[in-house]
Amino acid sequence: MDYRLVIFGLSVSVAFLICSEAPSVKMTNAVCKSYNKSWVAVHYCRLKAYSRNKTSLNINATFIEPAYHISLHLKMMKKASGYKPFLFDYTIDACEFMRRRNQPVAKIIWNMIKDVSTINHTCPYMGLQMLSDFYSIQFPVQLPTGEYLLLLDWYFDGKPQFATNVYFTFVEDFLTQKK
Ligand SMILES: *[C@@H]1O[C@H](CO)[C@@H](O)[C@H](O)[C@H]1NC(C)=O
Ligand SMILES: *[C@@H]1O[C@H](CO)[C@@H](O)[C@H](O)[C@H]1NC(C)=O
Ligand SMILES: *[C@@H]1O[C@H](CO)[C@@H](O)[C@H](O)[C@H]1NC(C)=O
Ligand SMILES: *[C@@H]1O[C@H](CO)[C@@H](O)[C@H](O)[C@H]1NC(C)=O
């Protein structure tokens, strides 16, 4: 995916969002899995329901050994007779990102979770990692109404260690869609 395209898309959407009704984003499922239980133990990975249209995400996992080289594969999917790739699919160096905050889509995610997670520091990461009661989704992109899946695959030393996958629905205008 061409970053310039993403940035262009984001700026257009931000402008659009500011003038439009707040769209409704709701997380509908969260699935975390460890590929290597001697490095990552996932204790808890669950949504909490607040209301019909609001859920919060809670993740609690332990990195048993320190992780010095972390990369993140971000992939967005949209449901259309099965989930199909949508909008972005690429890998970033997470340690470099934490030093330089240099990647626009990762920065959107970072801005949403920085206050409710334990990740606000640079590499290495070790021990308990948490995302607590995350619900404030400020997604600056106007997406078409539908069901989405954000796949986050975490690599340590270039090898997949765990995944945090979040399903969500995006409704452009909740009230007109409700009936
Ligand atoms: C799994 O984790 C162990 C413990 O940290 C590590 O030594 C090993 O290289 C990891 N295996 C893979 C395939 O990443
Ligand atoms: C994280 O999960 C583990 C295992 O369920 C639990 O023992 C621990 O108390 C949890 N930590 C926090 C801070 O929630
Ligand atoms: C969504 O939830 C909020 C908070 O619970 C509530 O105020 C709002 O009316 C709900 N919107 C719809 C369309 O159900
Ligand atoms: C992240 O850490 C930096 C440096 O300690 C601090 O200045 C900043 O306020 C922190 N941000 C958040 C969201 O906690």
**Whether the CB of 121 sits within 6 Å of ligand 3:** no
Q: Which CATH number fits domain 3-172: 3.30.310.50, 1.10.260.40, 2.70.220.10, 3.30.360.10?
A: 2.70.220.10
For 118, the token pair is 């334990």
Rounded to two decimals, what is the model's pTM? 0.82
Domain boundaries, the chain: 3-172
CA dihedral for 119, 120, 121, 127, sign (positive or negative): negative
Ranges of residues in the chain with a pLDDT under 50 are: 1, 5, 7-21, 177-179
Per-residue pLDDT, 137: 83
Per-residue pLDDT, 2: 52
For 126, the token pair is 């070790």
Give the distance (Å) from ligand 3 centre to CA of residue 116: 22
- By the 8 A CB rule, do 85 and 77 touch? yes
Per-residue pLDDT, 76: 94
For 39, the token pair is 């490095």
Q: Given phi > 0 = left and psi -120 to 50 = alpha, else beta, which region is 112? A: alpha
Give the distance (Å) from ligand 1 centre to CA of residue 66: 11
Nearest atom of ligand 1 to the alpha carbon of 64: 5
- By the 8 A CB rule, do 63 and 125 touch? yes
Distance CA 61, CA 127 (A): 8
For 24, the token pair is 């409704």
Name the DSSP letter for residue 144. Answer: P
